[in-house]
Structure 1
Amino acid sequence: MTGFAMPAPTRILSVKPIALPAPGRGEDLQVKVSAPVTGHGLPIIVFSHGFGSSMDAYAPLADFWAAHGFVVVQPTHLDSKTTSLAKDDPRAPRLWRFRVEDAKRILDQLDVLEAAVPGLAGRPDRSRIATAGHSFGGQTAGVLLGLRVSDPETGQAEDLSDPRIKAGVLLATAGSGGADLTPFAAENLPWLRNPSFATMTTPALVVAGDRDRSPLTLRGPDWMTDPYFLSPGPKSLLTLFGAEHFLGGISGHQVTETTDEHPERVALIQHLSWAYLRHALGIEDSSWRAARKTLDAQAEALGRIESK
């Protein structure tokens, strides 16, 4: 992103896998932690991967955030291809719920995670915790921010938000359910049927591509903007021009799933998400203001930002 001032990246250290005991889950929760090798008062990001992915993906985001002062914690959820969960596994209808519980388990066991990473203990700032996620992971992050999902087994829509989480970044995240869903999504992804964004009150940056045509919805790319338009403020929306579901390649460098590889777009997401989280977590506002001003001034901008 030309003209956007960034501090120099620092060296990072990543440790994986760190196993957290998870009674009732069926297997331990495997976690990766990345952090800068220097610095104190480090804010924390719990990042939730997309359906089928794992803690090993999304290096363009995780490594960037860690190199610029964040502790990034990446769980491998049960829907990951690495777990080989059978389609008829009794846990399948609750995959969305296990994901939320994974994030909460991470927050409950930060002492364990800090101790597992050499030199990290005592350096994170536990008063500044954010969540982020892509696709299915965006819904997971949204639930932690206040989004309510109707449990397909009980029909109840509980408040599973976590007060320890102060901000979020939702990347290419599903919108409303009901008549907006394709028959396949309604039948096979029950956690998408009736979400409510009305209670998603925690500050968040929603990122959507204007060419992200999902096979899960009968609508167009605007479906991915629902987490912004259907939730109360404070929220910001970054609409990326020409971006498809992987937003230029956020899940990895030169990965085959990326249909719209665009390094400059990924760099924009890196910079703006970093600046937004520093703003939303109360670290400083100047970077977010400068980033918005720079984007607005570009003659051929890669996207636009709006806020409420």
Structure 2
Amino acid sequence: MNPLAPASPVVSVAPITVTTPDRTIPVRVTAPLSGDRLPLIVFSHGMTMTMNDYAPLAGFWAAHGFVVIQPTHLDSLGLAPDDPRAPLVWRLRTDDLTTALDNLDTIETTVPGLSGRVDHERIAVAGHSWGAQTASAVAGARVVTDGTPGESMTDSRVSAAVLLSLPGSGGPALSPMAIEHFPFMNPDFTDLKTPSLIIAGDHDHSPLTVRGPDWFTDGYHLAPGATDLLTLFGAEHGLGGIQGAHDTRTTDESPERVALVQRATAAYLLTALGVNEVAWQEFRKSLRETNDPLGRIDSK
């Protein structure tokens, strides 16, 4: 059983620029050509990626009724290591997502035919890898500094989250390399109360942690709002290649895994945002009834 409606034509427009007092943020918008009251996904890319990546996700989501906004974060725009903004680039990434929401009316009017069609009450954030940590901050997670959780960057406009290959707990779980270069990968999930789907690969061995692939499931176990965990069998960090053809680092290329991530994320968000109350239930049922499934779902 496929809980999703047939795909519809989409349009993708880039670059759209969102200007702040400090800088200009390039943005890509992908949206269905038709439909009204369209739910919105703001997506945060992983390290070295840009708004032009993750086309397998953005295109699929738009074809099934979502508007997708993809900013390119400062760390992918040639930020020099000695730039004074570099130590806080993790915070600037989070600001990019909230800035996109602050400028949603302007973004809508820039895309031909989109103005007035976005439902501002149905908003989700999503992200992959570092982008998942970025999105999790908007959903309620905090970064631990000096032993205590930092300020909350939760955005009340966000009603759901999809967190793909979400980095886990910091502290002793981090590798020496991560401690040196990514000390901000030290999340506190206590206040991540936004309904969230976590997706992890059971073969995702990361140089960021001294633990194994279970590190990427910490968000599910520790965040009150993480309602569901989809574990993909045999999947590594790219979850089969969700970054798209531009990223040649995918080591576990699998169109079947990518298709599963596409369907799972769309079904979860349709239900979490109140668009289709049974989409997630039907997807879970279909996965349970599949012979030789590619993954399993745990739910709280």
TM class, shorter-length:
over 0.9
Question: What are structure 1's unaligned runs of at least 5 residues?
Answer: none
1:172 to 1:234, Cα distance in 2 relative to 1, 3 A = closer
Other-structure match for 1:12? 10
Other-structure match for 1:139? 133
Percent of matched pairs sharing the same residue = 54
Other-structure match for 1:180? 173
Counterpart mapping for 1:264-275 below 5 A: 264-275=256-267
| Post-superposition offset of 1:106 | 0.5
| Post-superposition offset of 1:151 | 5.1
| Post-superposition offset of 1:257 | 1.2
Other-structure match for 2:214? 222
Counterpart mapping for 1:59-78 below 5 A: 59-78=55-74
- Of the three residues 4, 18, 28, the one matched with 1:32 is 28
Q: Which amino acid aligns with 2:36?
A: H
Q: Which amino acid aligns with 1:56?
A: N
Counterpart mapping for 1:2-151 below 5 A: 3-24=1-22, 27-80=23-76, 83-150=77-144
State the number of aligned residues: 300
1:222 to 1:234, Cα distance in 2 relative to 1, 3 A = closer
Please tell me whether the aligned partners of residues 238 and 303 of structure 1 are also in contact (alpha carbons under 8 angstroms): yes
Q: Which amino acid aligns with 2:75?
A: D
Other-structure match for 1:158? 151
Whole-angstrom CA distance in 1 between matches of 2:222 and 2:3? 33
- Of the three residues 248, 273, 298, the one matched with 1:256 is 248
| Post-superposition offset of 1:98 | 0.2
* 3-state DSSP of counterpart to 2:143: coil
Other-structure match for 2:227? 235
Whole-angstrom CA distance in 2 between matches of 1:297 and 1:9? 23
Question: What are structure 2's unaligned runs of at least 5 residues?
Answer: none
Please tell me whether the aligned partners of residues 11 and 36 of structure 1 are also in contact (alpha carbons under 8 angstroms): yes
Q: Which moved more, 1:246-255 or 1:91-100?
A: 246-255
Whole-angstrom CA distance in 1 between matches of 2:148 and 2:188? 13
Residue 211 (1) aligns with residue 209 (2)? no
Q: Which moved more, 1:87-96 or 1:38-47?
A: 87-96
* 3-state DSSP of counterpart to 1:150: strand
Residue 190 (1) aligns with residue 188 (2)? no
Whole-angstrom CA distance in 2 between matches of 1:286 and 1:79? 39
Please tell me whether the aligned partners of residues 170 and 207 of structure 1 are also in contact (alpha carbons under 8 angstroms): yes
| Post-superposition offset of 1:88 | 1.6
Please tell me whether the aligned partners of residues 132 and 138 of structure 1 are also in contact (alpha carbons under 8 angstroms): yes
Please tell me whether the aligned partners of residues 148 and 195 of structure 1 are also in contact (alpha carbons under 8 angstroms): yes
| Post-superposition offset of 1:4 | 2.5
* 3-state DSSP of counterpart to 1:149: strand
Whole-angstrom CA distance in 2 between matches of 1:255 and 1:91? 26
Deviation above 4 Å: which 4+ runs of structure 1?
A: none
| Post-superposition offset of 1:233 | 3.6
The alignment yields a C-alpha RMSD, in angstroms, of 1.4
Whole-angstrom CA distance in 1 between matches of 2:109 and 2:259? 32
Please tell me whether the aligned partners of residues 4 and 267 of structure 2 are also in contact (alpha carbons under 8 angstroms): no
Q: Which amino acid aligns with 2:102?
A: D
Q: Which amino acid aligns with 2:192?
A: M
TM-score (norm 2): 0.97
1:119 to 1:280, Cα distance in 2 relative to 1, 3 A = same
Please tell me whether the aligned partners of residues 168 and 202 of structure 1 are also in contact (alpha carbons under 8 angstroms): yes
| Post-superposition offset of 1:254 | 7.1
TM-score (norm 1): 0.95
Q: Which amino acid aligns with 1:97?
A: R
Whole-angstrom CA distance in 1 between matches of 2:148 and 2:233? 38
Deviation track 1:108-132 (CA, whole Å, cap 9, x = no partner) reads 0011100100000000000000000
Q: Which amino acid aligns with 1:130?
A: A
